[in-house]
A and B are shown apart, each in its own frame.
Chain A
């Protein structure tokens, strides 16, 4: 994957004495210290990150965390105090007005929290706004605007006005306006926050669908971790203008950088985002090609378990054995461990969300075996570990 957007030391300071505040920030002074000394407010404090081509990068934080300021610096709606934004390696900060306008017209489009539709223009006129100001012929821009509206599922409303449409539909028009330009980068500032939950979920799914087919680079601002986890290929968490943690959704969930992030993820509906791979634990395994009944029994005793997972030389799962059956084998002096292996074991793979396994696990109480696509045993899921993970306890790791 190539890097589409690179942000280096991007800083925004509001207020007076910006120059002095800039020096202090470089010395590593904290936000309150700078405010006290200079009266300047640090909006964004030296943000550094990279966004890959074609990914959804979610910038997450509560209000006042600087995320909206940050996204506006990426298209220079807000002029940064310091730092660089590189798009395809080109420094946005060095561009003159004309060049910048060109980038805004061709490369980046923005979707706004309250839609930002022009109330005096019809839906189709709104959708074609970006093309209109580029001077695209009317016929051509109508065609492209219509295609974009179809992509987001708005047809038959061309001549209505924005206030005649519901919020969800208005935001679809906002998205269509952005897509009509065929930009490489979409900036979405809390784009779904003003929508009701049902519409929001709908729009999230639609965005993922659109992303699937169009492969834009999307920078998505959100204050909702569930949304971030659902959409983001990478998530960056901000607080008070500082970047706290950047990583994949799984990184964030399983290795929160500090208490702040941990507190955040406590509110997440974990069953939707945790996968079997996250909660599995290491089982007691017996290699049927190496071990006989006596050794098996000894291992089970040592580990205080009554069942063990049986694998072959390649760690391929064969089934489970019960301690009683193994004792029977020892009594009869048989060495054929395979004869008592029960092959009827519920299995799943690492990617399965645990929300799908919950019912079975809680009803049967039988652990699930987690295998990869080669059938190798990676771990097992027991009820206790699932509940523990849902409750936010440290997840046991399987090496």
Chain B
């Protein structure tokens, strides 16, 4: 083995990242754009009083489950949010929520069209599949390094890393959902003279909706799992609390913040799952 020189893989990637860094203008624009979305969410969450926020969450849960009400969930949400308030994690929770919502939103906006493309084109599927596998299996920490180089520190690189890590399920499930639309329905759409767009919006996407929403749900959970990691590069929120607790060997503080993440995760999960089941189709 010694006779074969070591491949300079690391330095290749370094020079690639160095090369990317010269497009400062481009990355600044992205930073500003993502930062803008993030700040908008945060601004809204900051002006809503806590009691109103809790009522809004409960109301939303009530609404999406209107056909099949789940009281235990409402009680859980009420008590859970009160606990977060009581532990003085409210602002951290909204920061984390902002990060999750922003990265999920971006993952959807990019992921769903990619999923559609993958379902429609065999070539796209062949190309995208290994890339998605790569994105999902590469340890998420690794994304932080170039993210910092390109987007600085703070919320934005955290969001970028989360998007990369969280997007694959949305793409995959969109692709799968569309491919699994029964052939007869596609034939029906075609035989009545639908255009490709009509077929997509009136038949394929509505029928793929359940699968698509399952992908959204997974993406959201994955981006939530990134919050502690993202806190290492300065993304604020509950993750920061956990990260600091690790540094101070503060088990109590760590668990308390971790519990708040769990509560947030359960609320987000149940809400998106209810959207999946939301009335017919």
Interface residues of A (CB under 8 A from B): 72, 75, 77, 101-106, 108-110, 112-121, 129-130, 132-134, 161, 177, 181, 187
Contact = CB atoms under 8 A, between A and B. Distances in A.
Contacts of A101: 193, 195
Contacts of B193: 101-106, 130, 133-134
A109 B191 contact: yes
B191 A133 contact: no
B280 interface: yes
A105 B209 contact: no
Nearest to A107: B193
Contact of B191 (A110, A118, A161): A110
B18 interface: no
B195 A114 contact: no
Nearest to B203: A118
A133 B184 contact: no
Contacts of B281: 119-121
The 6 closest A-B pairs by CB, nearest first: A120-B281, A105-B193, A116-B188, A104-B193, A110-B191, A130-B192
24 contacts: A72-B187, A77-B187, A101-B193, A101-B195, A104-B190, A104-B193, A105-B192, A108-B191, A114-B182, A115-B184, A116-B184, A116-B185, A116-B187, A118-B188, A118-B202, A119-B207, A120-B281, A130-B192, A132-B202, A133-B192, A133-B193, A133-B194, A133-B195, A133-B198
A396 to B, nearest CB: 47
B152 interface: no
B234 interface: no
B35 interface: no
Contacts of A117: 188
A116 B188 CA distance: 6
Given A104-B190, A120-B206, A129-B192, 8 more contacts: A104-B193, A112-B187, A115-B184, A118-B207, A120-B209, A120-B280, A133-B192, A133-B194
Nearest to B185: A116
Interface string B180-214: 00101101101111110010001100110100000
Contacts of A133: 192-195, 198, 202
B213 to A, nearest CB: 13
Nearest to A112: B184
A130 B202 CA distance: 11
Contacts of A109: 191-192
A77 B184 contact: no
B95 to A, nearest CB: 37
A369 to B, nearest CB: 52
Given A119-B280, A120-B209, A110 B188 contact: yes
A177 B189 CA distance: 12
B72 to A, nearest CB: 28
Contacts of B280: 119-120, 161
Contacts of A77: 187, 190-191
A80 to B, nearest CB: 15
Contacts of B194: 133
Interface in B198-248: 198, 202-203, 206-207, 209
A75 B191 contact: yes
A66 to B, nearest CB: 17
